[in-house]
Structure 1
């Protein structure tokens, strides 16, 4: 849990700090005094703060964003006292509208550029990995839920809505976000399955992927003092039958072993090309204590590599693809049962982080959240950067600035919207944690 929290907090702190730095740098560039620079919100108290020059720097305790407080600006602090005094040359309100617009967009620009850089580096260094559909000889492993949806063991997904994909992950994504039909290959023929609300709900509920390939396997590890250990099963053994029933695929093996809970049964094993018989007493949990590996699964892993130029070009596009996917995902929440449960705040996001530190996941996650943070802040909601930008654009177009009363009322509306979202997000996390 500490590793999960650490990864999330480091990612959020990095993103918020750089976002606010975008406002800070542009404000200082145009001669605007920055009174406060905070990572996370310091409601009632701060974890740490220190004044350096004219600016108080700090870290708040509420990980839902951050802020810079600019002199002479009506913001979420609702500090209107300074607005009653004579305007000063270092204040936000005395700057031309075009400068105020750049200051408001500074954080958004930083987030988009950061996402582009991370995506480009990841693509150049690691390429893109995917599961090759055209190499799936054994098709899908399916459980009772998937059987009820019309899938059959050995089915091979080939496309969604009539469009073919060679990436199993892409098929999973498209089926969830906009799929009406799933095209599969069954017994050499291609057929279509309808994707309805229940189908889409189940795809969403399978946290580790709805479409999982069937696979052959070898023994990779044997847990000490486990039934397999006591029976003499060794690393690299191939278990080819249980009680005379052939088990070429891992799902065959697990299903058959589960039928013999607490019983002693013969295992047919191939060891270094030689067949042997071992008697194994299956545990009461229906397991024997082995870990598996699969050279077949390795053969399904595809990788597309990119040159430096290709990686940079695709990196520029990737943040906008990530935003589009997130927007489509929000639309999907209205097309599934209990869509509210899929909305995750800080508590819910912790559970989605790897239990072991994973730098590839960390940077991929950070890039995606950076792009999404830019999009959210661009929305024309009072209190967000986009709301402030709208007023600056209005002034640039009309030549007339909104009155302070209008700005104050708009800011109040924005505060209520943002507080309402905070209450919903945290409340939803707590409800999901308690009731699942």
Structure 2
């Protein structure tokens, strides 16, 4: 519960900051061009609100709604999600949105996206200036990588140290590394101290690489116990520092990665449990440990019962941590003036990668990969860490900017599309058309929201 609350608080704080600043962008340009803003709200307020006030001599009512799905800035004389058609039936006033030149209306509509994008670049720059950049180069990973069957069929072997591809050297392990591997014709590794070239097809399915279980590649970790928590299941079944796990439920394993994969199967088995006896059987895990004693290596068989109520990682369910590789960490410090171009480059690479991956959304598997509020919230760290919080907020700010500029009615991008049409043809779309388009856009957004959050529920239930 504590981990859930920490993630929830981080998610709520990040979303609140992003929504306020996004709507603040619309607010700023509206006021700049003399357009009246009737309401400025954090969160939505159908039927009632949590808080509301209107300063003296102000045309704007400020408030906080109860539905934390975003926020809004109600601009006078504009067809938006409020569907205030009564106002649109009246003669246009000079202080209304519809009375302003098209270029001013365009800036008002892109104001929110502009603020979110600039905010992301600013946050990346501040993070680089404050904390620098710490990462482990794949070529510096002591134990190399762990590969799944599909990767091994291509010619990779466990403990291969990845260096790069014909597209360039790998800087750090992450999405960019996967993208290069998907497009590469050759991959370069160090195997048993010698350079080896692995021929690649050049058109691997990136989405399948991300979604495969076990993953296409991940850092290799030995199945050796480093420490055991007092009172834990690991202590109860007799695990000790230095023990090597060699088999789980009778299946031989060669790494901690495989240990996690086998323990993860427990959830799948529990799905088909018909009674309490079946559940107990599924939760009973048998381990074979290799332990050195008196100069000899001996095998120890032991077993224990997992607790399904524990939502922590599989390591913490057992109460032990594995021996982690002592990899060389590359640290780069950035001066004040260096941090801003570096932050812009960092943010641009994040945006380019995200936009490039959007094509997968239009496939059946891509639709399944959509995530809602639960998926976004789970991306925040288990403990409060300001560095990771601001990096995650910057990432969400880029996503919010990009998603809002998509040419979908009801989003900023939809309004921008119609304004560009007006500027080119010098003809405004009719109000009836705009209202219908707004309804269609909201319908599309609601459908996407339902699908994304339904995916979260299905993943939580282990159905998908």
Same fold (TM over 0.5): yes
Tell me which residue corresponds to 1:39. 42
Structure 1 stretch 358-367 or stretch 115-124: which is displaced more?
358-367
Q: Residue 13 of structure 1: CA displacement?
A: 1.1
After superposition, residues 353-432 of structure 1 pair within 5 angstroms as 353-432=380-459
- 1:65 aligned residue (62, 70, 80): 70
Residues 323 and 371, structure 1, Cα contact 8 Å, conserved in 2: yes
Q: Which ranges of structure 2 fall in alignment gaps of 5 or more residues? A: 247-253, 264-284, 306-314
Distance 1:226 1:397, change over 3 A: closer
| Deviation readout 1:179-201 (Å, 9 max, x if unpaired) | 56644333422223547767852
- 2:21 aligned residue (11, 18, 23): 18
Distance 1:207 1:405, change over 3 A: farther
Tell me which residue corresponds to 1:82. 87
- Is 1:27 the equivalent of 2:25? no
- Is 1:119 the equivalent of 2:124? yes
2:114 aligned counterpart, secondary structure: helix
Q: Residue 312 of structure 1: CA displacement?
A: 0.4
- 1:327 aligned residue (324, 347, 355): 355
Residues 178 and 209, structure 2, Cα contact 8 Å, conserved in 1: no
Distance 1:20 1:179, change over 3 A: farther
Q: Residue 254 of structure 1: CA displacement?
A: 7.1
Residues 209 and 216, structure 2, Cα contact 8 Å, conserved in 1: no
Distance 1:185 1:200, change over 3 A: farther
- 2:139 aligned residue (99, 121, 134): 134
Tell me which residue corresponds to 1:267. 292
2:303 aligned counterpart, secondary structure: coil
Structure 1 stretch 208-217 or stretch 315-324: which is displaced more?
208-217
CA–CA distance in 2 between the matches of 1:307 and 1:80?
Answer: 53
Residues 139 and 162, structure 2, Cα contact 8 Å, conserved in 1: no
Tell me which residue corresponds to 2:211. 204
Q: Residue 121 of structure 1: CA displacement?
A: 0.6
Distance 1:153 1:209, change over 3 A: closer
Alpha carbon RMSD of aligned pairs, Å? 3.8
Structure 1 stretch 321-330 or stretch 214-223: which is displaced more?
214-223
CA–CA distance in 1 between the matches of 2:61 and 2:257?
Answer: 63
Residues 40 and 60, structure 2, Cα contact 8 Å, conserved in 1: yes
Q: Which ranges of structure 1 fall in alignment gaps of 5 or more residues? A: 243-248, 269-274
Structure 1 stretch 220-229 or stretch 380-389: which is displaced more?
220-229
Residues 341 and 432, structure 1, Cα contact 8 Å, conserved in 2: no
Q: Residue 226 of structure 1: CA displacement?
A: 6.6
After superposition, residues 101-250 of structure 1 pair within 5 angstroms as 101-142=106-147, 147=152, 150-160=155-165, 162-169=167-174, 172-175=177-180, 178=183, 182-187=187-192, 188=194, 189-194=196-201, 201-205=208-212, 210-214=217-221, 219-220=226-227, 222-224=229-231
TM-score (norm 2): 0.75
Distance 1:50 1:144, change over 3 A: same
1:329 aligned counterpart, secondary structure: helix
CA–CA distance in 2 between the matches of 1:289 and 1:283?
Answer: 15
- Is 1:314 the equivalent of 2:342? yes
1:300 aligned counterpart, secondary structure: coil
Q: Residue 63 of structure 1: CA displacement?
A: 3.6
CA–CA distance in 2 between the matches of 1:37 and 1:241?
Answer: 58
Structure 1 stretch 281-290 or stretch 130-139: which is displaced more?
281-290
| Deviation readout 1:289-313 (Å, 9 max, x if unpaired) | 543454xx34332223322222101
1:100 aligned counterpart, secondary structure: helix
CA–CA distance in 2 between the matches of 1:85 and 1:355?
Answer: 53
CA–CA distance in 2 between the matches of 1:36 and 1:168?
Answer: 45
Q: Residue 202 of structure 1: CA displacement?
A: 4.4
TM-score (norm 1): 0.80
CA–CA distance in 2 between the matches of 1:307 and 1:389?
Answer: 38
- 1:3 aligned residue (6, 10, 25): 6
CA–CA distance in 2 between the matches of 1:225 and 1:426?
Answer: 34
CA–CA distance in 2 between the matches of 1:162 and 1:376?
Answer: 29
| Deviation readout 1:128-148 (Å, 9 max, x if unpaired) | 222223333432245667656
CA–CA distance in 1 between the matches of 2:454 and 2:259?
Answer: 39
Tell me which residue corresponds to 2:377. 350
Distance 1:144 1:69, change over 3 A: same
| Deviation readout 1:9-45 (Å, 9 max, x if unpaired) | 1111110111001111221222221111122333444
Distance 1:432 1:232, change over 3 A: closer
